[in-house]
Structure 1
């Protein structure tokens, strides 16, 4: 226990100074396990503050509590304070076993949250809720709003990411093959005027749009995060299952459906032995700040998933693609 007391004292400082001008974010919620444990970050700028939505595990003394969603706020994208949780809603039977992997967009004065159910195997699906304050959410009465169909998929849908492009909304999701072995990315679309209800989403491809092919991707591609540059979409994605190690790749598309990898190597690899993310750098979220700077949030750990921390680093657009510092 002495070791983990030291670990907590190190990481509960959600930022550490590395130089006079450079700060490194490390955030881990300790409320569920007594150890830092946060996954699947997604950040929005909303009403004068940054809000980060992330997955939190069941309580250590109550496994039946299931995965839920935590909410933290920040003024600087470095120091984060937890301000809320999203737990299963009364009457929402579809999410009683758990909900997690949030993805959010801000439309007008409303945060729209897209998340997955958890604990239902092939029946896990994408759900939608909205909020005027970013903290308290109203569920979509048509939930779950999406799961894929066809002989290429098991029907499961997780890791929702919604992006507006070419006057429509694209919903990216991870699914598995019928044997529940290979994880891959699919896509659905909805019109610009959508209310995000179930009947608005149409599957845009009868096959995966990105499938694990490279050695480092193993049997899994998941956690798509989308950003637009120069009338093209760029996808940061997680390759390989957790701690395999999972690493982050980058792909590009002209139409949001057909994708091409930009490198055979990870855009952001796991850390070296002894580093905080030696077990993985995974589940990316690319965030465009209001000042024009861009940050890549992701999760990592160095103990094969006993703990999980969230961090971010600034990435740079060179007119053709994104680059890391140095």
Structure 2
């Protein structure tokens, strides 16, 4: 007697059967129902929907034996039967003994069902129906798949379909009289199919659990793996569930595609065709992991969209951490996007980002079934970066997908060794990252509480312009990357052998991907190193703090630096501010803290009066920030 059970798994390999199985039995109120089987389940919103086979007693050729019913549930275990939704049609010979083996998808607001049929001589075919509510179905008159290849024998059936965002893929069993093989076909509309010439899976060998028959494929895409579960029959009468896996192919996107190539890239005066090599490479990798949607941004009104380089660029523009100030893509922001995509679709994997200058990581990533992004010098003779995706090893080089040049399929001879390996992998736990971005004219060092240097500092040149074929005009930056920073206190030192202004952009992500962004400015010089305290709490609910450590000495040094940089344009103003800072320090050292604070407050008022006269905007911002920070610490 056939019933429907439930099993759950954390990895798709080890399964736990529900303690109170079965979750659906035959309907005692339906005197014709002999057993139930072959369930196809979707979760739409908060409701589970099941379409399943209802079998009647076989009474001879042409008798209706197979029907499709529908049930709903709020928890996936307690089901309410809703009755028949699909039965054979009178006068349709290929459905004469009924309809069975439903597989249902919900695509763009429409339910799509592929189902098996059987005629009066036992020949199986596959039909198609569509519905707006999952209950009332519109069927095509003719089957969408039937036997046409020699290995398929007399019947095809038990369809399982998945949609990759562009194409439908159907897997079905076939064989002479009984199923020996599993075949595959593709379609752009789910109706007109192109079959693979050969089957994708056959029966097992001698003494295998599936030596006699294989049937009823059920396919699911998990990240970059396609998992095919199927029923296998041994030489006796025992059926078991087997698993076959396939690594999905990685799609190719061009940054110059007419669909998005002319769109504005980031916030720059450039197009995607000019500069979008990094995000286009990332789009290929995201699609490879079966991330099919950008999540949209409620703050800007951007809706979720099918993922491609154009929609990824739109999403990165809509958030405030999508790129660094020179237009270079912030891959950590893309990892953060996958968290939000997962919130919309729990089957969409969450990815964490990491990077390495160890080139052996390329092979390690490829061997693990992942596709790393390679950061390259576009040309040894000019400045500017370029990004490609490594897809496999070739003789003394790597196969690549180049978003700017589709005809460049290998790394060599087109490019030299990569500068960096950018990596994405599936995770459900820790998305914490610390990224510190400064001008290339200054140096940065981050120390932990044990006075140990942490993080990896890299030079971030802007991207090469692929259309004009000219070196970039944007600024080169220095970036410190620190993945999974332990909770604690850190000290950042910013220095330079000569007077240099800087801007520090800080991107701090906690374990759940929540971000803390901050910008600080300053000036450093030969005897003036700026010190910034970072308190990092990278726990799932933690927040972090960035606080410049300003002293009277550093304030006076910044007054001098501002004067030397021309930000204080008047010698008397420079002398006055220096004297006032010195006087405030003497008050503080004499333990007259309130008077020292009042002196600093007076300097702030004076700066407002001098702004635009003898102090430039840059000088005003620098000294105002110093005075405010120093007031807070007194």
What is the TM-score when the length of structure 2 is the normalising length? Answer: 0.36
Say which of 100, 114, 128 aligns to 2:37. Answer: 100
User: Which one of the candidate residues 212, 219, 228 is aligned to 1:296?
Assistant: 228
- How far the C-alpha of 1:236 sits from its partner, in A, is 0.7
Q: Distance in 2 between matches of 1:277 and 1:114?
A: 27
2:147–2:155 Cα contact (<8 Å) kept: yes
1:3-37 per-residue CA deviation (whole Å, 9 max, x = no partner) reads xxxxxxxxxxxxxxxxxxxxxxxxxxxxxxxxxxx
Residue of structure 2 in register with 1:19 after alignment: none
- Aligned match of 2:188: 254
Does residue 271 (structure 1) correspond to residue 204 (structure 2)? The answer is yes
How far the C-alpha of 1:110 sits from its partner, in A, is 2.0
Q: Does 1:91 align with 2:29?
A: yes
Q: Distance in 2 between matches of 1:155 and 1:275?
A: 33
The equivalent residue for 2:2 is 67
Indicate conservation of the 8 Å contact 1:225/1:284, yes or no. yes
Aligned pair partner of 2:218 in 285, 301, 304: 285
Where 1:271 maps in the other structure, the secondary structure is coil
- 1:181-234 CA deviation, whole Å, 9 max, x = no partner? 21110011102xx1x22xx2111x211111122222222111111111241100
1:145 matches 2:80: no
Query: How far has the Cα of 1:69 moved from its partner?
Result: 1.3
**CA deviation map 1:25-56 (0-9, x unaligned):** xxxxxxxxxxxxxxxxxxxxxxxxxxxxxxxx
Matched residues in 2 for 1:114 and 1:241: separation? Answer: 28
Q: 1:311 Cα shift?
A: 2.1
Query: In the aligned structure 2, how far is the partner of 1:245 from the partner of 1:129?
Result: 29
Taking the aligned partners of 1:319 and 1:236, their CA distance within structure 2 comes to 20
Question: Retained in 2: the 8 A contact 1:94–1:117?
Answer: no
Return the alpha-carbon distance in structure 1 between the equivalents of residues 96 and 152 of structure 2: 20
In the superposition, relative to structure 1, how do residues 152 and 88 fare at CA in structure 2: closer, same or farther (>3 Å)? closer
Gaps of 5+ in 1: 1-65
In 2, the alpha carbon distance for the partners of 1:237 and 1:76 equals: 24
Aligned residues of 2:73 and 2:79 also touching (Cα < 8 A)? yes
Whether the aligned pair in 2 keeps the contact of 1:247 and 1:281 (CA below 8 Å) is yes
* Bigger Cα Rg: 2
In 1: Cα distance, 2:137 partner to 2:42 partner: 16
Structure with the largest fraction of helix: 2
CA–CA separation in structure 2 for the residues paired with 1:176 and 1:90: 25
Determine whether 1:161 maps to 2:113.
no
TM-score of the superposed pair, with normalisation by structure 1: 0.69
Q: Contact 1:183/1:219 (CA < 8 Å) preserved in 2?
A: yes
Relative to its length, the structure with more strand (as a share) is 1
Question: CA 1:267–1:212 in structure 2 vs 1: closer, same or farther (change >3 Å)?
Answer: same
Q: Distance in 1 between matches of 2:108 and 2:76?
A: 27
The yes-or-no answer on 1:184 pairing with 2:125 is yes
- Aligned partners of 1:113 and 1:297: how far apart in 2? 19
Number of the residue aligned with 1:116 = 53
> Deviation per CA, 1:29-87, whole angstroms, max 9, x where unpaired?
xxxxxxxxxxxxxxxxxxxxxxxxxxxxxxxxxxxxx2111222222222222211021
Corresponding residue for residue 202 of structure 1: 138
Task: Check 1:148–1:91 CA distance in 2 against 1; reply closer, same or farther (3 A cut).
Answer: closer
Residues of 1 paired with 2:101 and 2:72: CA distance?
17
Q: C-alpha separation between the residues in 2 aligned to 1:241 and 1:190?
A: 33
CA RMSD of aligned residues (A): 2.2
Aligned-partner SS, 2:95: coil
Q: How much does 1:312 deviate? A: 1.7
